[in-house]
Amino acid sequence: MQTKSIYHPPVKRSMTIAGHQTSISLEPLFWDALKDAADARQLPVNALVALIDVERLESASPCGLASAIRLWLTAQKG
């Protein structure tokens, strides 16, 4: 059973998005899924996050970036 990895608290990572430095806190499960999604699109993780950020900011009611990443990853599975 993988309860440790599933319920691990968020891990903060710094990256540059659209030319500015930011920190994002995600659970390791989401970091892994984000890396897999970036690899599948042959993009660096920060480039995929930048694309998600643009979509988020263009939405009618944008949420925070970490939430947007989680939502985007979940929507890709469906």
**What number is the average pLDDT over the span 28-47?**
97
Q: What is the pTM of this model?
A: 0.90
Confidence of residue 1 (pLDDT cuts 50, 70, 90): very low
Residue 78 pLDDT more than 90? no
> Please, is 28 exposed, middle or buried when counting C-beta atoms within 10 Å of its C-beta (0-12, 13-18, 19+)?
middle
Asked whether the predicted pLDDT for residue 63 surpasses 90, the reply is yes
Residues 41-62, mean pLDDT to the nearest whole number: 96
**What average pLDDT is seen over the chain?**
93
Residues 35, 46: Cα–Cα separation, whole Å? 10
CATH of 9-77 given 1.10.3990.20, 3.40.50.1860, 1.10.3720.10, 1.10.10.1590: 1.10.3990.20
